[in-house]
Structure 1
Amino acid sequence: MGAVKPRAVPHRAPHRSDRRHPRGALSSGPSCWRGSLTLTARSCCHLVGARGPTHGAAGIEREGFPCTPAFRVREWRQESQRQAAGRPTEGGAACREGSRKQGMQRWGPDEQKARTPRFITRAKAWHSAQDSGNSDYFLSSGDKIRFFFEKCVFDEKGKFLVPPEKSVNKIGHALHALDPVFKSVTHSPKVQALARSLGLQMPVVVQSMYIFKQPHCGGEVTPHQDASFLHTEPLGRLLGVWIALEDATLENGCLWFIPGSHTSGVSRRMVRAPAGTRFLGAEPERDHSLFVPTPVRRGALVLIHGEVVHKSEQNRSARSRHAYTFHLMEASGTTWSHENWLQPTAELPFPPLYT
């Protein structure tokens, strides 16, 4: 069997009650792979061992989800400091030496300058770095743990405008393989059971990211389709798994979807080029009245079809919106495009989800 075929979801005007669980983006059937599937802390208690909304985070922690990932973020920050300073690292693994305070003292503005990569979350500049010479930092990150910064955190001279610990946009793209915490989460028996309930026969993990959505600065993610960047033949074989580690609200940048938009194909593709990447096709103008917000409590899990159009607004609130997300591909009968920016390597082939 190939991928589960998506079922068309007719669009309708959103009702006030849809602000939490928009119809057309919510599915409770075990084999319904529609535009997106939202499992709240209550409805996904069978996945995380929680007893209800107020216990969702605790249940996820028991499964290995770092709802309060201070220890891991500390290590990542220290590793980021080493990379920014031009010191060698060990295979992209998180540095586990020194304290957070010492790491932050060494990771000062003077060490950033032009070598520090900035990750701009607009889809049209997803691969962007501080200058074109640094684009390989992104393009070669598929089998590493690397750190990408928000657009708004540096001044024209490359100095921090915010505290360094508030500067990181995301960490990716091989947490699922190289970090033991996120590896255990990604391949947990309950995640595997969820994939089986969707009918996936040979799912592989293609990438993973920890997204910070920093307070006041967390960048907007413009309307896009994941399959524009992670293309398969045939389409319909890509599935995003998005886990809220903090409440995602209208104020701090929750996800928004156009219900039923996964049935219209892919409007453009980002492909590798001699000088980095380029786009084939163009992103059409989207009617923003069609988007339905999907605020969720921490502990919720959202499944995102590879072709559904979605976005998130800039975080203008004082609260962050941390999330862990990874993408699965149904490998049975599927060809991964050799033009995708992300490619499996000899060091890290796409690992099977089922263990």
Structure 2
Amino acid sequence: MGIVGNLSPEQLQSFNSQGFLVIESFSSPEELHAMMNRMDQLLNQFDCSTISVFSTKNQKELTDDHFYESAERVSFFFEEKAFNDDGNLRQSKQLSINKVGHALHEIEPVFKTFSRSEKISSLLFSLGYKRPVLIQSMYIFKQPGIGGEVVPHQDNSFLYTEPSSCTGLWLALEDATITNGCLWAIPGSHKNGLVRRFIRDENGVHFDNPSPSYGHKDFMSIEVKAGSLVVLHGDLIHQSFENQSSKSRHAFSIHAVETDGCEWAQDNWIRRKVDPEPIYSS
């Protein structure tokens, strides 16, 4: 296996310069299989009579109680293109789900074991965290043919602390390529700060500013092999395109924020009844 845990000075320098870092072979094939197998089981058990759609293009219109309550649950969200004009699934539920979130890391043992592992906590401490918590997790499917676009965004927009402190950890469960919808990022864009926030108030959820325009030429593709971990600075501008290929692009994503000297914004979309427990390196 490759480097897992404490980052080298060269890795830290690259992360601070680019705003992202790829750590190859972060997870073993056995870990990947365990997570994918457990998700297969959860999907088989899922009653798809509960319909909630996830979209980064129409977040305000599609955000509902199911989305809000997912902060402390294991909730299922469908792709926008999963349904026909009659409101029925075009194909099996296994090929129609966009993601499962947002508390897999707390509720499901297989995902909890990975999320609270020594290699994750050591990585966060390498990045300067003192009392990190994992605030959300997602299993992302990027389904073949219908896997939806994720528009350019910054993670700090959705998971804001004062001062900002979010880091995304994106684990490729399958190979991620340009063809099946890999991540794209603007290197160094984290140095320009946060451009807008996703706010929840009495009117629901909305952004406080319009999205800037970004040129495709500014983005760099991040193609990785299964088992690779992509570390994303909270202010890094990143996205992914639709998966128009015949191959899925499964990934497991967790987000950490600092609680030592940082305050969770009360107008974030996530409003938990029970505060998450900090993770510590052993």
Determine helix, strand or coil for the equivalent of 2:208: strand
| Alpha carbons 2:198, 2:207 under 8 Å: kept | yes
| Alpha carbons 1:216, 1:317 under 8 Å: kept | yes
Determine helix, strand or coil for the equivalent of 2:174: coil
Q: Which residue of 1 aligns with 2:24?
A: 40
- 1:163 Cα offset (Å): 2.0
> What is the CA deviation profile of residues 218-265 of structure 1, one whole-angstrom value per residue up to 9, with x for unaligned ones?
101011111111111112x11000000100001000100101111112
| Alpha carbons 2:34, 2:110 under 8 Å: kept | no
Q: Which residue of 1 aligns with 2:272?
A: 344
Distance 1:68 1:218, change over 3 A: farther
Q: Which residue of 2 aligns with 1:116?
A: 51
Q: Which residue of 2 aligns with 1:142?
A: 71
Structure ID, larger Rg: 1
Q: Aligned Cα RMSD in Å? A: 1.9
Distance 1:32 1:329, change over 3 A: farther
- 1:142 Cα offset (Å): 0.3
Q: Distance in 2 between matches of 1:294 and 1:332?
A: 31
Q: Distance in 1 between matches of 2:10 and 2:51?
A: 44
Write the letter of the residue equivalent to 2:11.
Answer: G
Compute the TM-score of the two structures, normalised by the length of structure 1.
0.72
Q: Which residue of 1 aligns with 2:11?
A: 29
> What is the CA deviation profile of residues 301-334 of structure 1, one whole-angstrom value per residue up to 9, with x for unaligned ones?
0100011000001001111000001001121110
- How do 1:239-258 and structure 2 match up within 5 A? 239-258=167-186
Write the letter of the residue equivalent to 1:29.
Answer: Q
Q: Which runs of 5+ in 2 are unaligned?
A: 1-8
Q: Distance in 1 between matches of 2:265 and 2:88?
A: 38
| Alpha carbons 1:254, 1:312 under 8 Å: kept | yes
Q: Distance in 2 between matches of 1:311 and 1:28?
A: 25
- 1:31 Cα offset (Å): 6.8
Q: Distance in 1 between matches of 2:36 and 2:213?
A: 39
Q: Which runs of 5+ in 1 are unaligned?
A: 1-26, 49-56, 86-114
Match status 1:190 vs 2:123: no
> What is the CA deviation profile of residues 44-71 of structure 1, one whole-angstrom value per residue up to 9, with x for unaligned ones?
4xxx4xxxxxxxx42xx2xxx3336453
Q: Which residue of 2 aligns with 1:311?
A: 239
Q: Distance in 2 between matches of 1:214 and 1:288?
A: 23
Tell which has more relative contact order, 1 or 2 (C-alpha 8 A, sep 6+): 2
- 1:127 Cα offset (Å): 5.6
- How do 1:318-333 and structure 2 match up within 5 A? 318-333=246-261
Q: Distance in 2 between matches of 1:213 and 1:67?
A: 17
- How do 1:191-270 and structure 2 match up within 5 A? 191-235=120-164, 237-270=165-198
> What is the CA deviation profile of residues 145-173 of structure 1, one whole-angstrom value per residue up to 9, with x for unaligned ones?
00000011101221011222100000000
Compute the TM-score of the two structures, normalised by the length of structure 2.
0.90
Q: Distance in 1 between matches of 2:159 and 2:180?
A: 26
One of 256, 272, 283 as aligned partner of 2:200: 272
Q: Distance in 1 between matches of 2:134 and 2:232?
A: 14
Q: Distance in 1 between matches of 2:59 and 2:173?
A: 23
Q: Distance in 1 between matches of 2:247 and 2:60?
A: 26
Q: Which residue of 2 aligns with 1:353?
A: 279
Q: Which residue of 2 aligns with 1:98?
A: none
Q: Distance in 2 between matches of 1:30 and 1:301?
A: 15
Q: Which residue of 1 aligns with 2:86?
A: 157
